[in-house]
């Protein structure tokens, strides 16, 4: 069975794929889908509970929660992709170097990975973000810069197992340079595991972003994000449950979607599961 | 064993140094200085005053010299003095809050083990049963739930809707007037939600890991041998299989410590618990460099110690590792 046949037969993976596609559509068409302007303040309708007019209620400034969540989808998508892209890029380059060359450079890179892995990552992220000005770009940067270690280990392991294979030796024998071997011969064979790591990484980045925004050091109001709507939920916890319930549900569904997709890709590209 | 221990502890030193170098430089090279925050609210603050403050905090020196003097103080066991208005020693500020954070984390570790191990074992033993399928779904959702959101929902439901549990702090207002027993139950009631939330993240991971381990172990030859000897199913599972499946889980517990400590920032902030995580959050916001450095250092030490304990108990439990 090919990759696509395997993937197509896996209902859970397809569900994940559908959720991810739906999020893309919502993000791209947010201005047309959102029933209200996400920034429109209406002080006559502060903290209204969900109704036919405002499906998910209104917040402390009378803004429509559903519209803010639809625009918030854009933010989480952006953060997820850029931060993970950065982490994958760093992890791929370092992992390829460490695994391909071995020796002292491998030791150096892997010791650095050990150091980065052994402190509470969330502490470091918090410290860096708060010292920089909190902005969406800084969040992407910091989440990316603290999330590359797993990918490095993964890519290194793939490179170590692939670098002595016959096809690599053959390439070397006909005079291919290191760069050519790394990028054209070995890396394509490691792509499946990188893709899985990327998909799961996006889920993780979205969770981290929402936690940071919730603590007030992520995406700053008035820009809507799922995390900072939840902050309003905490501030009004005794009167407005809808501010807490819906944005968290959106995060949950999104993360489930990416996780299902990631595991689906993993299963579909695992030769041991092919019959 | 002793030699192994000493070697491991010596290896921690360069790792810790590396961590402090990274933290120190990242923090000090970031734009924005603590003096900006302290002077921006004061219209009378002149540039000269800012300079004096910078000098007081030794922020006017090059970063590597600052790091060197921080390290020299550290070697005498001195973590420096807080920049905040109380100017107390950093070590005191952290030590008075550390027990709370450690208590909550240890309690949640115990809960994680008590719940995740049986779930993992049962779903592996009864693979593809209804129980296995239901727990698989719960575990999968558990991975995706933002814990701070779950905390909010539980606060709304148990704290506000039902009014069963307090939702912030560690003590009720009338704590002073309660009997010893009353004080204990009061504390326990305040701890239920934070401990549960802090345990929640680890539950999914460990139970899934236990299930995978158990599935692998019950396919081994020695399990077949045990069955062939005519041992009861109970004995096969709980004496022979469980012991072997538990081993690798020890490492996972060790690795989950950074996550637990990192998570304490979130739940201590939500539940207004005066622990190390809350101190960290407040210090980061106030750019209190010495306190932030101190907590990062202690977080790293706790993490390394957790890994060490995990490895050592693994070695104690598994004779194969002890010999090599």
Task: Assess contact for B121 and B210: CB atoms under 8 A.
Answer: yes
Interface touch A121/B258, C-beta < 8 Å: yes
pLDDT of residue A257 exceeding 70: yes
Number of cross-chain residue pairs from A and B with Cβ atoms under 8 Å apart = 131
Mean pLDDT within A122-129: 79
CA distance B10 to chain A (A): 15
Minimum distance, in Å, between the CA of residue A130 and any CA atom of chain B: 6
pLDDT digits (tens, 9 = 90+) for A145-177: 888 998 999 999 999 988 888 888 899 899 888
Of the partner residues A127, A214, A215, the one whose CB lies closest to the CB of residue B296: A127
Measured CA to CA, the distance from residue B96 to residue A192 in angstroms comes to 49
Angstroms from B21 CA to nearest CA on chain A = 11
Q: What's the confidence (pLDDT) of residue A30? A: 87
Q: Which residues contact B102 (CB under 8 A, 6 or more apart)?
A: none
Q: Which of B266, B308, B92 is nearest to A125 (CA)?
A: B266
pLDDT, tens digit (0-9, with 9 covering 90-100), for B126-147: 888 898 889 888 888 888 899 8
Residues 166-195 in B contacting A (C-alpha not used; CB under 8 Å) = 167
Q: Are B304 and B12 in contact (CB under 8 A)?
A: yes
Secondary structure (DSSP) of B269-324: HHTT--SHHHHHHHHHHTT-HHHHHHHHHHHHHHHHHHHHHHHHHHHHH-HHHHH-
- Tell me what pLDDT residue B244 has: 81
The predicted-structure confidence for B250-262, as pLDDT tens digits, reads as follows 777 777 777 788 8
pLDDT at B119 over 70: yes
Q: Residue A237 is nearest to which of B152, B304, B307, comparing CB atoms?
A: B152
Mutate to test the interface with A, among B146, B297, B302 (most CBs of A within 10 A): B146
Per-residue confidence (pLDDT) for residue A73, from 0 to 100: 93
Chain A residues inside the 8 Å CB shell of B299: 119-120, 123
Q: Do A131 and B307 touch (CB under 8 A)?
A: no
Q: A255–B143: do the CB atoms touch at under 8 Å?
A: yes
The H or E element that residue A78 is part of is helix A65-101
| Torsion A12-A17-A18-A20 (CA) sign | positive
Provide, as residue numbers in chain B, all residues whose Cβ is less than 8 Å from the Cβ of A214.
146, 148, 266
B285 touches chain A (CB under 8 A): yes
Neighbours of B259 (CB within 10 A): 17
Is some CB atom of chain B closer than 8 A to the CB atom of A9? Answer: no
CB A123 within 8 A of CB B292: no
Omega of the bond prior to A222 within 30 degrees of 0, cis?
A: yes
Contacts of B278 in chain A (CB under 8 A): none
Phi and psi at residue A58, to the nearest 5°: -125, 160
Please indicate whether, in this complex, the C-beta atoms of A256 and B140 are within 8 angstroms of each other. yes
Name the residue in chain A with its Cα closest to that of B270.
A234
Kindly list the distances between the CA atom of residue A159 and the CA atoms of A83, A85, A186, in Å, as whole numbers in the listed order: 24, 20, 7
The CA distance from A125 to A47, in Å, is: 33
Interface of A with B in 133-172 (CB under 8 A): 133
Give SS3 for B89. Answer: strand
Q: Is it the case that residue B47 has pLDDT exceeding 80?
A: no
Helix (H) or strand (E) holding A81: helix A65-101
H-run or E-run covering B267 = helix B257-270
CA B190 from chain center: how many Å? 19
The span from the CA of B36 to the CA of A247, in Å, is 35
> Do residues A185 and A165 make contact, with C-beta atoms less than 8 angstroms apart?
no
d(CA B240, CA B321): 18
Q: How far is CA A13 from CA A9, A20, B122, B133, in A?
A: 9, 11, 26, 17
d(CA A244, CA B264): 20
CA distances from A69 to A61, A81, A145, A229, A247 (A): 15, 18, 27, 8, 7
Q: CA of B181, closest CA in chain A: separation in Å?
A: 30
Q: Are A49 and A240 in contact (CB under 8 A)?
A: yes
Residue of A nearest to B148 (CA): A211
pLDDT at A108: 92
Kindly state whether B29 is in contact with chain A, defined as any CB-CB distance less than 8 angstroms.
Answer: no
Looking at the complex, does the CB of residue B163 fall below 8 Å from at least one CB of chain A?
no
CA distance B175 to B178: 5
Q: Are B193 and B158 in contact (CB under 8 A)?
A: yes
pLDDT band at residue A275 using 50, 70 and 90 as cut-offs: very low
Q: Give the whole-angstrom CA distance, residue A124 versus residue B20.
A: 11
User: Please, where are the H alpha helices in chain B?
Assistant: 2-29, 34-40, 47-56, 63-75, 90-125, 130-144, 147-154, 180-217, 221-228, 233-235, 242-255, 257-270, 276-285, 289-317, 319-323
Q: Is A11's Cβ below 8 Å from some Cβ in B?
A: no
Instruction: Establish if B261 touches chain A: CB-CB under 8 angstroms.
Output: yes
Record: contact B148-A230, CB cut-off 8 A: yes
Residues A163, A178 contacting (CB under 8 angstroms) = no
B chain contacts of residue A118, beta-carbon cutoff 8 Å? 15, 19, 258, 300, 303-304, 307
Distance CA A83, CA A97 (A): 22
Q: What is the ipTM of this complex?
A: 0.85
- How far away is chain A from the Cα of B234, in angstroms, using its nearest Cα? 31
Predicted model pTM: 0.85
């Amino acid at each position: 069975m090919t990759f696509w046949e395997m993937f197509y037969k896996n209902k859970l993976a397809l569900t994940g794929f559908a959720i991810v596609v739906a999020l893309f559509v919502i993000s791209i068409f947010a201005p047309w889908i959102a029933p209200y302007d996400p920034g429109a303040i209406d002080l006559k309708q502060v903290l209204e509970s969900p109704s036919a007019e405002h499906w998910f209620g209104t917040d402390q400034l009378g803004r429509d929660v559903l519209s803010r969540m639809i625009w918030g989808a854009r933010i989480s998508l952006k953060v997820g992709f850029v931060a993970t892209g950065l982490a994958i890029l760093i992890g791929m380059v370092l992992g390829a170097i460490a695994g391909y060359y071995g020796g002292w450079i491998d030791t150096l890179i892997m010791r650095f990975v050990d150091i980065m892995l052994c402190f509470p990552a969330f502490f470091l992220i918090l410290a860096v973000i708060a010292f920089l000005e909190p902005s969406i770009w800084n969040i992407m940067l910091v989440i990316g810069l603290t999330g590359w270690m797993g990918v490095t280990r993964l890519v290194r392991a793939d490179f170590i197992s692939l670098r002595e294979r016959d096809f690599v030796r053959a390439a070397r024998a006909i005079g291919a340079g290191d760069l050519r071997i790394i990028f054209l011969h070995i890396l394509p064979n490691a792509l499946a595991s990188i893709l899985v790591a990327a998909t799961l990484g996006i889920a993780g980045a979205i969770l981290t972003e929402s936690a940071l925004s919730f603590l007030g050091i992520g995406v700053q109001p008035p820009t809507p994000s799922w995390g900072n709507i939840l902050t309003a939920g905490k501030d009004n916890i005794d009167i407005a449950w809808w501010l807490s319930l819906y944005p968290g549900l959106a995060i949950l569904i999104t993360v489930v979607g990416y996780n299902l997709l990631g595991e689906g890709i993993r299963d579909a590209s695992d030769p041991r599961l092919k019959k | 064993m002793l030699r192994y221990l000493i070697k491991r502890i010596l290896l921690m030193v360069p790792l810790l140094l590396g961590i402090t170098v990274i933290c120190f430089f990242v923090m000090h090279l970031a734009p924005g200085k603590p003096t900006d925050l302290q002077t921006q609210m004061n219209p009378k603050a002149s540039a000269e005053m800012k300079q004096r403050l910078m000098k007081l905090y030794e922020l006017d020196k090059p970063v590597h010299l600052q790091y060197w003097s921080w390290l020299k103080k550290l070697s005498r066991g001195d973590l420096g003095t807080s920049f905040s208005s109380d100017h107390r020693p950093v070590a005191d500020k952290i030590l008075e809050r550390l027990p709370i954070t450690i208590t909550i984390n240890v309690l949640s570790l115990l809960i994680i083990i008590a719940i995740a191990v049986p779930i993992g074992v049962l779903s592996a033993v009864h693979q593809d049963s209804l129980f296995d399928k239901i727990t698989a779904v719960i575990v999968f959702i558990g991975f995706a739930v933002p814990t701070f959101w779950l905390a909010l929902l539980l606060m709304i439901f148990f704290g506000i809707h039902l009014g069963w549990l307090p939702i912030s702090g560690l003590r009720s207002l009338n704590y002073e007037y309660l009997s010893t027993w009353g004080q204990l139950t009061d504390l326990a009631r305040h701890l239920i939600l934070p401990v549960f939330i802090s345990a929640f993240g680890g539950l999914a991971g460990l139970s899934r890991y236990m299930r995978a381990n158990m599935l692998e172990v019950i396919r081994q030859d020695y399990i077949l041998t045990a069955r062939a000897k005519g041992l009861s199913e109970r004995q096969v599972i709980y004496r022979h299989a469980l012991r072997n499946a538990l081993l690798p889980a020890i490492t996972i517990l060790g690795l989950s410590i950074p996550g637990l400590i990192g998570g304490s920032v979130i739940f201590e902030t939500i539940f207004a618990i005066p622990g190390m995580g809350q101190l960290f959050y407040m210090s980061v916001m106030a750019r209190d460099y010495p306190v932030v450095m101190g907590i990062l250092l202690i977080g790293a030490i706790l993490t390394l110690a957790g890994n060490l304990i995990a490895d050592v108990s693994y070695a104690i439990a598994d004779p194969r590792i002890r010999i090599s």
